[in-house]
């Protein structure tokens, strides 16, 4: 089955009442308010979430859908390709996917839905993030997307969605940047540490990584009787992240049962290859985070190939 497509744009909304009036003035039809809970899973490819939705009003029927989608992160109107599957047992599916993949973040929001032709206008209040406006122009299968981009551009102008308010990422990523996945990263690092293969040093290390799409990855140190052939936990975790299709590290948790674990010098450079100087690195013991530092604190003056070639 071919994926459905739409053209999306998301922006912060400092004046929700004004935006609502502007949407109505532009001819949009108010469809009322919805309560939505989006549970994001650590998918290996693309993004995967379970949406549980309940309209306002007593006795209003609720529904749930599993949504698998791929979308670039850029501060502009962008194409999203997605698959929808109706879910009759949301708690059961959540438990199964959590066991198989792990939950990365949960987004709770109240959504005011308006329709302007084939464009869905979402006026969202997101727990922990505040007020937002989102446009989704639904495309027919044979569309070249030019009409959808034109519709989004026209509504963007009508609603005053200026460049300084438009964001590149979704709600899940924004919550993750605020630390929503830190405890899950710590749990992954602990599990990896417990599974480490360290018969020679007896020093188990586990690492959890969050990538640019919000997916979580982990790795443990794997030793070898030919000592140089072993690898650190950071190396294992980075390999898992890259093999999944991710390209960047946004958050790190390193755990060992010692006074204070820090990555070795080589692993600091390995992390720097895919992370930013400001990327948080949580130094953990079995009980949880003991200290959090920026990567630049661990590796000042890190080698940078782009700077070296400039």
Are both 119 and 239 inside the same structural domain?
no
- Residues 158, 192, single domain; the answer is no
Distance CA 293, CA 310 (A): 29
Once rounded to an integer, what is the mean pLDDT over residues 182-186? 93
SS3 state of residue 231: strand
pLDDT of residue 215: 82
Pairing of strands 47-55, 63-71: antiparallel
**For the chain, what is the largest distance between any 2 Cα atoms, rounded to a whole number of angstroms?**
73
Query: Is residue 155 predicted with pLDDT exceeding 90?
Result: yes
208 and 134 in one domain? no
Q: Facing residues of 116 across strands?
A: 119
Lowest mean pLDDT among 76-80, 118-122, 224-228: 76-80
Q: Quote the pLDDT of residue 126.
A: 97
Residues 88 and 202 in one domain: no
Q: Averaged over 273-298, what is the pLDDT?
A: 97
Q: Is residue 218 within 8 Å of residue 101, measured between CB atoms?
A: no
| Whether residues 19 and 162 fall in one domain | yes
Range with the lowest mean pLDDT among 75-79, 104-108, 126-130?
75-79
Q: In what order do the strands lie in the sheet containing 216-220?
A: 216-220, 205-211, 249-256, 280-285, 288-294
Q: What is the domain count for the chain?
A: 2
| pLDDT at residue 294 tops 70 | yes
pLDDT at 219 over 80: yes
Give the Cα separation of 220 and 201 in Å (integer): 13
Say if residue 81 is exposed, middle or buried (CB neighbours under 10 Å; 0-12, 13-18, 19+). Answer: middle
Q: Annotate 2-61 with DSSP letters as a single string.
A: PPEEEEEEEEE-S-HHHHHHHHHHTTPEEEEEEEEEEEEE--SSSEEEEEEEEESSTTPP
pLDDT of 261 over the 80 cut: yes
Once rounded to an integer, what is the mean pLDDT over residues 271-288? Answer: 96
- The secondary element (H helix, E strand) that includes residue 188 is helix 182-194
Same domain, 185 and 168: no
Q: Which residues touch 59 (CB under 8 Å, ≥6 apart)?
A: none
The pLDDT value recorded for residue 154 is: 96
What would the mean pLDDT of 63-85 be, rounded to a whole number?
Answer: 85
* 3-state SS assignment for residue 234: helix
Q: Work out the average pLDDT over 144-159.
A: 95
Residue 60: per-residue pLDDT: 65
**pLDDT the model gives residue 47:** 86
Same domain membership, residue 134 and residue 10: yes
Let me know whether 172 and 186 are in one domain.
no
Domain of 215: which CATH number?
Answer: 3.40.140.10
Using DSSP bridges, classify how beta strands 249-256 and 280-285 pair: parallel, antiparallel or unpaired.
Answer: parallel
Q: Please report the pLDDT score of residue 225 as a whole number.
A: 96
pLDDT of residue 58: 60
Give the range of the structural domain holding residue 158, as residue numbers without chain letter: 4-176
pLDDT for residue 172 is more than 80: yes
Least confident span in 121-130, 143-152, 297-306: 297-306
Co-location of 43 and 171 in the same domain:
yes
The pLDDT of residue 59 is 63
For 48, 163, 292, 295, the CA distances from 181, given in Å and listed in that order, are 16, 28, 14, 18
- Shared domain for 172 and 198, answered yes or no, is no
Residues 155, 266 within the same domain: no
pLDDT at 1 over 80: no
* Domain C-terminal end among 140, 159, 176: 176
Annotated catalytic residue 127: no
Q: How far apart are the first and last CA of the chain?
A: 47
Kindly report the average pLDDT of the chain as a whole number: 92
For 3-22, how does the pLDDT look when each residue is reduced to its tens digit (9 = 90+)?
Answer: 889 999 999 999 999 999 99
Last residue of a domain, one of 154, 176, 198: 176
Tokens matching residue 152:
């989004």
Tell me which of 176, 192, 215 is where a domain ends. 176
Task: Pick the catalytic residue from 8, 134, 148, 234.
Answer: 234
Q: What is the CATH number of the domain that holds 151?
A: 2.40.320.10
Residues 109 and 159 in one domain: yes
């Amino acid at each position: 089955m071919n994926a459905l497509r739409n053209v999306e744009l998301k922006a912060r909304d400092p004046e929700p009442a004004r935006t609502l009036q502007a949407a109505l003035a532009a001819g949009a039809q108010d469809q009322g308010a919805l309560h939505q809970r989006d549970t994001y899973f650590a998918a290996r490819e693309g993004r995967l979430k379970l949406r549980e939705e309940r309209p306002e009003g007593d006795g209003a029927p609720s529904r749930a859908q599993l949504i698998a989608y791929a979308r670039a992160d850029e501060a502009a109107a962008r194409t999203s390709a997605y698959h929808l599957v109706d879910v009759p047992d949301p708690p059961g599916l959540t438990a199964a996917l959590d066991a198989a993949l792990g939950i990365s973040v949960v987004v709770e929001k109240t959504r005011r839905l308006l329709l302007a032709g084939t464009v869905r206008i979402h006026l969202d209040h997101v727990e922990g993030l505040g007020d937002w406006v989102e446009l989704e122009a639904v495309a027919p299968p044979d569309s070249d997307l030019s009409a959808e981009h034109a519709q989004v551009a026209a509504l963007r102008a009508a609603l005053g969605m200026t460049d300084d308010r438009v964001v590149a990422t979704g709600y899940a990523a924004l919550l993750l940047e605020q630390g929503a996945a830190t405890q899950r990263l710590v749990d992954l690092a602990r599990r990896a540490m417990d599974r480490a293969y360290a018969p020679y040093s007896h020093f188990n290390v586990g690492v959890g990584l969050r990538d640019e799409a919000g997916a979580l990855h982990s790795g443990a140190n794997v030793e070898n009787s030919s000592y140089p052939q072993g690898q650190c936990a950071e190396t294992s975790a980075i390999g898992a992240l890259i093999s999944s299709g991710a390209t960047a590290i946004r958050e790190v948790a390193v755990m060992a049962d010692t006074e204070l674990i820090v990555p070795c010098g080589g692993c600091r450079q390995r992390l720097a290859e895919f992370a930013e100087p400001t990327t948080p690195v949580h130094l953990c013991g079995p009980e949880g985070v003991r200290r959090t530092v920026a990567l630049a604190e661990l590796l000042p003056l890190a080698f940078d190939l782009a700077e070296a070639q400039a």
